[in-house]
Amino acid sequence: MTKRALWLTGGLLLAVLLVGSVAEAQQVPSAVSRAGRFVFGAGLGLQGDTVDDTAFALGVSGDYYLNNNFSIGPLLQFGLTGDLFQLGLTAQAKYTFDLAGLSAIKPHVEAGIGFIYADLDLPDGRGGDDTSFLIPLGVGLEYRLSPRISLDTTLFFNFTDLDVRRGNDEFFLTWLVGVRIPF
């Protein structure tokens, strides 16, 4: 089984488990309303199946909640290896679920659209740079430690049309673990 198949299988399994748990959830009022609030998020992690295999990842996001569950905002994804610099900027829409009896745990799903720039420098000259569209689809889970800070993990399925190795690179995964701070 290739690395791409392993990443896809693991990601799809996580998505199925998350969607299954969310499907049984009922809406309950949140102890702290998110409506009208801005939430800053930052995380570290990995990008798999990039144009240079696995990369170190950094993600930064900003969510403005239009109501208690739906937010919009930017997502910035960085991917770095010794030979790769990758930067993606997208506008995201996110839906956060309230689980009955579990006010500290908040699963979410999100999707967005934007662009990505990748620069690959390989010694044999097979590298290059390219800019393309980026469509990230994400599933994640937030755990509220206090009203002022939450832990967060998100898995993004990123679809693109990069061409930096003289061939199309149409998909990569990003897994981020970080914090979210409401303002």
Which has the closest alpha carbon to 50: 177, 164, 182? 164
What letter would DSSP give residue 67? S
Distance CA 137, CA 114 (A): 12
Q: What is the pLDDT of residues 136-179, one digit of tens each?
A: 999 999 999 998 999 999 999 999 998 887 666 789 999 999 99
- Tokens read off for 160: 């693109």
- Hey, is 8 helix, strand or coil? helix
Right CATH number for 3-182 from 2.40.160.20, 3.50.50.60, 3.40.630.30, 1.20.1050.10? Answer: 2.40.160.20
Distance CA 179, CA 147 (A): 13
Could you tell me whether strands 70-80 and 128-146 are parallel, antiparallel, or unpaired per DSSP bridges? Answer: unpaired
Between the alpha carbon of residue 175 and those of residues 11, 45, 54, 136, the distances in Å are 9, 5, 11, 12
Would you state the pLDDT for residue 167? 60
pLDDT over 80 at 181, yes or no: yes
User: Structural domain boundaries of the chain?
Assistant: 3-182
